[in-house]
Amino acid sequence: MKSIKFSRSPLLSERLPPWRQRLMLVVLLGAFVTLIARSLYLQGFNNEFLGDKGRARFERVIDISATRGRITDRNGDVLAVSTPVRSIWAIPEDAQLAPAQVRSLAALLEMDVREINNKLASEREFVYVKRQLPPELADRVTALKLPGIHQKNEYRRYYPSGEVMAHMLGFTGIEDAGQEGIELAFNSHLSGKAGSRRVIKDRRGNVVEDVESIHPPQEGRDIVLAMDSKVQYLAYSYLKQALEENRAKAGGVVVLDAQSGEILALANLPTYNPNNRVRLVGAQLRNRALTDSFEPGSTMKPFTAALALEKGKVRFDTPIQTAPGKMTIGSATISDAHVHGMLTVAQVIQKSSNIGAAKLALSMTPQEMWTMFDSLGFGAPLKLGFPGEVGGRLRPAKTWRPIEQATMSYGHGIAVTLIQLARAYLVFARDGELVPISLARVDTPPVNGKQVFSAQTAREVRAMLEMAVLPGGTAPKAQISGYRVAGKTGTSLKIEGGAYVNKYVASFVGFAPASDPRLIVAVMIDEPSNGKYYGGDVAAPVFAQVMAGSLRTLGIAPDAPLKPLLMTSVEPVREEM
């Protein structure tokens, strides 16, 4: 077959039908008109659509962080403040880094190379590489000029007092929101509200134009606490010393202003450093003064005596027979460690007789005692707004058996927190009046107090509590040179698995100057294990140290001659358990 050139192909001589030419012309003209109409519609009538699409590629609404409010003590000393930090973030799609670049970034951030690669392999549009870096370190990362890697301004909380105030202040999380303590309790007050602004960014995420401010940030408000940082340091230091000397498991100290109800100090051990929480464990977090309840032991006896006085069952000097040192109630027997014989009501408190306290309790009805305990705030949280606060344990009066009523008179069968116990002693320091206590500074004296006992009853019990710290009482180690002191020891066995075990809680609560009480100090030492466990030996010395330092720090005038303390060579009377 002869080959035929393409230019001479017979197909080229064929003519198309006229209708096909016209059809193609109509189609092309129609498409052209459609494009013109669509263009006019989008650019002339519905131009917002294209504008939105354009802005979506370059405009961004970014948050403007609000500075968290400061926390200060009553004298203006800063306890918590937000410091500027920066966070490194990435756009994974843009962050196409060479292996050498990833290694350089990992070395600066002290991160594993695989961790960074995993973050940059994310399908998300935005990932944090590492947060809360010092500004100088973030600048070094920026100097690497890595594609898709950016930085953001943030804030990090700093606590100048470290572990001394950790339980009271708490801390914030990575998003600068309160997680524990005051930071959590007053989070809405401190945090403020973030603002926002609209900006234009280039493809690398750099802001090239600030378009407008949408919402200005509302800065967080400051909080002035009732706490005094100097008193807090005294409480923390002496508590730490006591735990080391007595090889104790834990402990707490609360200092209250008896006139205003303000919490001047609240220290717990073990504690933690809120600025470095890498190895933080749960036991360190517990604010034991508010979250842990314990049987208070003999620190409850003054309330039993006060109720008996108030009901007219006894007088200050009414004799009570405590011999032979044992008392059987039903199938149970309670006892005193020593046979005291005939004691007055005042001496029952001074010598801390279980028999005397039980006889006072059994002269009243269970409902009368329950009402008194309830009026003092036992059995329910104090509603300070502090996270984790518990109410202790106070069973309904109708469930009490006689033996339980007797043991509650000296602090067994009832559980309280240290903050509840400290607050309850306000009734003896304020002539029978109980007022709310406050975490924040109080500028005017409280006027919404509740009269639990008469002023006469409170003064008589105050005199008994003064006797308890003198020779012949259970706490001569609580005395302070130059000041009259009143207070009561407590020693109780711990309950584990529903049964008492050979572990102790030693406590002391007292106030000074006794002539015009200004401060209340409550001390609790959990499981002392260095040979001594009585409240008079373990907790009373801590009270004396904290109280003496606090009185002098606050400039409270002495109310007693400066003379040697009336310490005798004999051991203090042991409180009964």
Helices of type H across 425-515: 426-429, 455-468
Sheet holding 195-201, edge to edge: 59-64, 195-201, 207-215
> Pairing between strand 326-329 and 416-417?
unpaired
b/e sequence 516-530, b meaning 16+ C-beta within 10 Å: ebbbbbbbbbbbbee
* Among the listed residues 511, 471, 473, 484, the one whose alpha carbon sits nearest the alpha carbon of residue 348: 473
Contact 474, 497 (CB under 8 A): no
Contact 200, 212 (CB under 8 A): no
Cα 286 to its chain centre, rounded Å, is: 8
End-to-end CA distance of the chain: 127
Element spanning 434, H or E: strand 433-434
CA 368, 374, 377 angle in degrees (round to 5)? Answer: 150
Residues in the chain, how many?
577
Per-residue CA distances from 524 to 225, 271, 351, 547 (Å): 23, 15, 20, 14
515 is known as an active-site residue:
no
CA-CA distance, 574 to 480, in Å (whole number)?
Answer: 20
* Among the listed residues 286, 319, 315, 323, the one whose alpha carbon sits nearest the alpha carbon of residue 417: 286
Contact 514, 486 (CB under 8 A): yes
CA-CA distance, 403 to 407, in Å (whole number)?
Answer: 6
- Give counts: helices (H), strands (E), the chain: 21, 21
Q: What 3-state class would DSSP assign to 503?
A: strand
Contact 318, 541 (CB under 8 A): no
Backbone angles phi, psi at 264, to 5 degrees: -80, -25
> Pairing between strand 195-201 and 223-224?
unpaired
Q: Which residue of the set 229, 298, 352, 507 is catalytic?
A: 298
CA-CA distance, 219 to 496, in Å (whole number)?
Answer: 48
Neighbours of 257 (CB within 10 A): 23
Q: What is the largest CA-CA distance in the chain?
A: 147
Helices 135-143 and 99-109, axial angle in degrees (round to 10): 170
Contact 308, 328 (CB under 8 A): no
Q: What 3-state class would DSSP assign to 400?
A: coil
CA-CA distance, 486 to 500, in Å (whole number)?
Answer: 30
CA-CA distance, 521 to 537, in Å (whole number)?
Answer: 16
User: Which residues are annotated as catalytic?
Assistant: 298
